[in-house]
Structure 1
Amino acid sequence: MKIALLGYGKMGKTIEKLALEKGHSIVFKSLSKTAEGKFEDADIAIDFSSPEVAIKNISKALEAGTPIVSGTTGWLDKYDEMVKLCENRNGSFIYASNFSVGVNLFFSINEYAAKLIAPWKEYNVSVEEIHHLQKKDAPSGTAITIAEGILKHSDKKDWKLNTSEENTLNITAKREEDVKGTHIVSYDSSIDTISLKHEAHSREGFALGAILAAEFLKDKKGIFTMKDVLGIKIND
């Protein structure tokens, strides 16, 4: 598989290393101010850039007829616009807030737990996320996906960052040195606390998941999620 890397930071470099180990090739790299290779030679594009350029990267791929996998967060106000472009171009697109296999299993566990605990109103749910100092968006896209899974089965109307509003799901975001990504869901009552936690140990899990998604998407048409890639089924 010939891959175009849109964004060549720490994640891009990790994807390159693991993709080469799996026998794939990198035919294009877009760096902050320059580019190497030929985008038109790519079978698929993988975008781990920044919120400011993600829309440009995704649009470029879809308009060129190149399937694209995007793990950039912080641009989701334009997600429906990208879906429409993909449909109009009969393209191929996967977006995920997190490509880690473990995190995507955690998403489903989180939804199931939210459904199970929903009748027990004495438990108040909250989400905490911790990331490295360089992460620009807060809360993380992963935390938002976790919150959305909870809200499907909750009386709470929405999520907010650092809130104490009664009918709103609170997300706390922390930035610390060299944290790959930690997400904690807590159900607190006066009697006890139930916690679910996912802690990433390296970027390789994210990179391997993105490559797995690219392998899945190649030669397909449509809009998919990591549930499709991993064959995860959960009853809403």
Structure 2
Amino acid sequence: MRILLIGYGKMGKTIEQMALAKGHQIAGTIDHSNTETLSNYTADNTDVAIEFTHPEAAFNNISYCLTHDIPVVSGSTGWLNKFKEATDLCQHNGGAFFYASNFSVGVNLFFHFNEYIASKMQAYTEYNVSVKEIHHLQKVDKPSGTGITTAEGIVKHYTDLNDWVADDEADSKISIYSEREPDVVGTHIVTYASEIDKIELGHVAHSRAGFAGGALMAAEWLLNKKGVYGMKDMLNL
């Protein structure tokens, strides 16, 4: 499989190593220094693109792939105000688009358990629910995409919550608290706190290998498919 890596930071380089070890080819790598070379890639020389870039670049990268018949897997966060536009573009062009805010299998099991617990806890109004996410100092977006997905999974099951709020408290909203520390890959904790006790569900990533491996798995799975997909589809959750 010929893989185009759009975004060649720590994640892109980890994916490259894993892909080569599995016998895949790297069609090319694109970062901030050679963004203009994206136009060199088409379905003739690329089987799938894996896109991990900054919020301001993600939508344009995804759009290019979808309008040039290149299946694209994206893990970029901070651009989801244009997600519907991307999915509409995929459907219009008969393309293939796989998006996840987090490609770790463990994190997606965490998402699954998070929703189950929320569906039970919503009946116990004495518990205040909140989300905390901790990442490395270089992470640009706050809250993290994984933190937002976690909060949205809870809101889905609560009649008295309709949205999330960052680093604050507000009526009818779940709070997402963000911390940035050196050398933290990614930690997410859901807390249900009452006056008498506390319940927590958490996920702690020890390396980027889980994220990179999941993204590569998604690229392999997406090949020869059409439509919009996510981790629930691939993991059958």
For normalisation by structure 1, the TM-score amounts to 0.96
212-221 or 33-42, which deviates more: 33-42
CA offset at residue 164 of structure 1? 2.0
Report the counterpart of residue 205 of structure 2 in structure 1: 200
Q: How does 1:112-191 map to 2 (within 5 A)?
A: 112-154=116-158, 155-191=160-196
Deviations 1:122-177 (A, max 9, x none): 11100000000000000000000000100011121210002222321011000100
Gapped regions of structure 1 (runs ≥ 5): none
1:96 to 2:100 alignment: yes
Within 2, Cα distance between the matches of 1:65 and 1:34? 21
Deviations 1:43-65 (A, max 9, x none): 00000011111111101100110
- Opposite residue 16 of structure 2, the aligned amino acid is E
Report the counterpart of residue 228 of structure 1 in structure 2: 233
- Opposite residue 166 of structure 2, the aligned amino acid is L
Report the counterpart of residue 18 of structure 2 in structure 1: 18
Within 2, Cα distance between the matches of 1:22 and 1:105? 25
What RMSD over aligned residues (CA atoms) do the two structures have, in Å? 1.2
Count of residue pairs brought into register by the alignment: 232
SS of the equivalent of 2:174 reads strand
- Opposite residue 218 of structure 1, the aligned amino acid is L
91-100 or 30-39, which deviates more: 30-39
Runs of 4+ in 1 over 4 A off after TM superposition: 35-38
For normalisation by structure 2, the TM-score amounts to 0.95
Report the counterpart of residue 39 of structure 1 in structure 2: 41
Deviations 1:102-124 (A, max 9, x none): 00000000000000111111111
Gapped regions of structure 2 (runs ≥ 5): none
Within 1, Cα distance between the matches of 2:54 and 2:166? 21
- Opposite residue 108 of structure 1, the aligned amino acid is H
